[in-house]
Amino acid sequence: MRIFLDTASVEEIREFVDLIDGITTNPTLLAQAAKPFREAIKEICDMVEGPVSVEVTALDAEGMISEARELARIADNVVIKIPMGTEGIRAVRALEAEGIPTNVTLVFSPAQALWAAKAGASYVSPFVGRIDDRAGDGMELISQILLIYENYGFKTEIIVASVRHVRHVVEAALLGAHIATVPPAVAKKLFHHPLTDEGIKRFLADWEKVPR
């Protein structure tokens, strides 16, 4: 499973740039980065080898397509994030036909994910955390999408998004999701376990007792 970092902060990306497989941004994350938008995207794309998702803000297909063409010119690794909806799906079909990769975002149901795949999206982003926040089952959605995609041999890759904790990442991996996009705080936790720290401490203490 590939791990993307869900941030637009250059400082946070720098910490993991050699370990992660890509980046996802959204308007909220870009607002937090507090830098001129195109400048921030260019800087991120230059740092990261993998795909960098950048979201359009137009609400009609035509507007999304022209925004996407402009964003795609920033760097070769830009992936256009398109909000789910009929206009979004029209835009995905047109952009993928032009060779511009898309990531259908704000997906909360298997039917929406089916449309994303039928339109030929490169990626789909189901938001598991926001579903769990409302007492739903985000991971159940992932397993349903995986089954639907397997049934028809769809090539669209699933990015498990809106990740809140390590268990989301582990469950995504157990289900066989292609990618999880994780906030930096969760990315850090993926490496750690208290028994690892305790084990290192004990081994180092014992090493001091080894005759040399």
Q: Which residues form the interface with ligand E4P (CB under 6 A)?
A: 6, 24, 26, 105, 125, 127, 129-130, 161-162, 181
Return the CA Rg of the chain.
19
Supply the minimum distance, in Å, between the C-beta of residue 79 and ligand E4P: 10
Q: How far is the CB of 151 from ligand E4P (least distance, A)?
A: 25
Name the 3-class secondary structure at 56: coil
**29 or 100: CB nearest ligand E4P:** 29
Q: Which residues contact 148 (CB under 8 A, 6 or more apart)?
A: 110, 113, 114, 117, 154
Listing DSSP states for 21-48 in one string gives SEEE--HHHHHHHTS-HHHHHHHHHHH-
Nearer to ligand E4P, 23 or 100 (CB): 23
User: Measured from the CB atom, is 82 or 94 closer to ligand E4P?
Assistant: 82
What is the smallest separation between the CB atom of 105 and ligand E4P, expressed in angstroms?
6
Least distance between ligand E4P and beta carbon 123 (Å): 9
What is the spatial distance between Cα 13 and Cα 180, in angstroms, rounded to a whole number?
16
Question: Dihedral of CA 64/69/75/79: which sign?
Answer: positive
CB 129 within 8 A of CB 182: no
**Active-site hit among 81, 155, 188, 209:** 81
What is the C-alpha to C-alpha distance for residues 19 and 123, in angstroms, rounded to an integer? 21
- Report the C-alpha gap between 44 and 67 in whole angstroms: 19
Q: Which is nearer to ligand E4P, 140 or 197 (CB)?
A: 140
Is residue 201 among the annotated active site residues? Answer: no
Active site (catalytic) residues: 81
